[in-house]
Amino acid sequence: MSSGKTVRAKGGLAPLRLGPAGREGVPLLEWMCARYPSLERTRLAELFVEGAFVDSDGEPLGALAPSTVIARGAYFYRPVADEVDSPIKVKIIAETDNWIAVDKPAGLATTPRGAYVARSVTVALRRQEGNDQLVPAHRLDRPTAGVLLFTKRREMRGAYQKLFEQRQVQKRYRLLAPYIGEKFSFEGKIFRPEGSRRVVASKKGEPNSFTVFTCLGRCGSQALYEARPTTGRMHQIRAHMACLGAPIVGDQMYGGVSAGQLQLLAYSLEFKDPFGEQVYLRTSQRLPLKGA
């Protein structure tokens, strides 16, 4: 029987829990070959030898183990396709015993997903700090640079994630876009069409997003804006500016002019620490951002 312990991460990456349930009389290697046909049988056999498959207690599982063990908990330390030759250095802005704030570079995903595993801030920071319990309290899009907050311990996650969910964090962004006014806002509905990578912002329907924009300076037809979103929808600021007819510079997904890099920066976070004082965090990066 499993001891109920959490299966530890390796190299900053937590293992995948296998499922659905295995089949009576089918060895785990055979089950994996059928479940993951993209992985060659010889490579899977090597992974078993390397200890990539473990039970709920973290004990290695052999290739001939019955696949029915999956029902009790079996885990797979998957290969990292985008492994890096040298460690990715993540700049620390500030930290306490409960959290650590970093200055995320553009081009790194917040969490490991798809083609971005080693090239994610979560994995890079876990490796750098030697702490596999680090988890982001919120997220930034891969092309977006700036302030990103992580919790250090499992028991702290809920308290800080709740700050963002309950809109108790003041978020300020800076961006470059065509000049359309000194101060304006956008309130509307954001939704993502099925199968699309981008979202749509519309004035029609029940509003679920709101952002206030303030011009901080102009250079010809372009302007530097501060954006203060009070909601946190996917691609919110990008979609709002696109709907206003002024897509962010470098945001070709939403119609912006090419610039080598999305000119959107998560400039600062401010919140009352549930276990401390008022916190103000600011990026050291400045616009325009160079190509990632």
pTM: 0.86
Based on the fold, state whether residues 145 and 56 are members of the same structural domain.
no
Q: State the catalytic residue, choosing from 55, 141, 251, 273.
A: 141
Per-residue pLDDT in tens (0 to 9) along the chain, 292 residues = 334 457 888 888 889 999 888 889 999 999 999 988 988 999 999 999 999 999 999 999 999 999 999 999 999 998 887 888 889 999 999 999 999 999 999 999 999 988 888 999 999 999 999 999 999 999 999 999 999 999 999 999 999 999 999 999 999 999 999 999 999 999 999 999 999 999 999 999 999 999 999 999 999 999 999 999 999 999 999 999 999 999 999 999 999 999 989 999 999 999 999 999 999 999 999 999 986 5
Cα distances from 283 to residues 9, 30, 184, 235, 265, in angstroms, run: 29, 50, 24, 20, 8
Based on the fold, state whether residues 256 and 175 are members of the same structural domain.
yes
146 found inside a domain: yes
Based on the fold, state whether residues 180 and 116 are members of the same structural domain.
no
Rounded CA-CA distance 154/249 in Å is: 38
CATH number of 34's domain = 3.10.290
Buried b (16+ CB within 10 A) or exposed e, 212-246: ebebeeeeeebbbbbbbbeeebebbbbbbbbbbeb
Residue 97 known to be catalytic = no
Range of the domain at 35: 16-76
Rounded CA-CA distance 21/18 in Å is: 8
103 found inside a domain: yes
Q: How many domains does the chain have?
A: 3
Based on the fold, state whether residues 225 and 184 are members of the same structural domain.
yes
11 found inside a domain: no
Based on the fold, state whether residues 247 and 177 are members of the same structural domain.
yes
7 found inside a domain: no
Which among 146, 165, 184 is the end of a domain? Answer: 165
